Amino acid sequence: MGLGNLFRRHRLKKYSSPVTTGFVPLKDIRKAIVIIDAADPAYQECAGTAENFFKRNGITAEIHYTDFRKSCNRLPDETGPGHQNAAGFFRKRDIGLFKMPKIKKIKEIIKNDYDLLISLSPDNIFFMEFLTKIIRARFKTGRVVFSGEPFDLVIIPSESGDYKPYHNERDGNRIDEEENIHVNQEKVLNKIIDFLSKVE
């Protein structure tokens, strides 16, 4: 095992969330954190959909954006819809030693407790795996499968355009990670919203 892997394991052990996760009914969700992929051209519409959903249900939400493209320095229009309540923005420059997030960038997230995490980032990188695992949320949803399966629900886009739910290994199901492709994240979000509306 290389030095980088040892360092990442040590940091994960130090910062990983102690919260036991599982499905949480919509009526019990009061605080949420959402991670939106700003590399998606339709990310503003997705942010608007998320904000409207949380507002209708009386949920306080933090919206964070990710864009790990080399050319990205800021959101294309930081004054546009969906940005007024932006809590943070993760860029390539926020990736530190051994591909870890710079702790100063995520220190506020580490301190907070949430009922729900929705991660719409399609980036299968350690930065996002670490972020997913350290967020203290009771119910975690996303669109990428990481080691240890930190998400309780993953919506997997396939080449056919279908969106199918994947439950973590506690349900004994597996999927092929190659099916996870870049697609309009708002469709993934709407599938998650639809699922949340049905959980009792």
pLDDT digits (tens, 9 = 90+) for 67-117: 988 766 555 444 444 444 467 889 888 998 888 889 888 989 999 999 999
The pLDDT > 70 percentage for the chain reads 78
Residue 156 phi, psi dihedral angles, 5° rounding:
-100, 115
What pTM does this model have?
0.82
What SS3 class is residue 29?
A: coil
Instruction: Quote the CA–CA distance of 105 and 102 in Å, as a whole number.
Output: 5
What is the overall mean pLDDT for the chain? 82
For the chain, list the domains and their CATH numbers.
Answer: 19-198 (3.40.50)
Here the tokens at position 159 are: 């080449």
Residue with more model confidence, 190 or 85: 190
Closest listed residue to residue 158, CA positions, set 133, 136, 178: 178
At residue 8, the pLDDT reads 85
Q: Are strands 113-119 and 86-91 parallel, antiparallel or unpaired?
A: unpaired
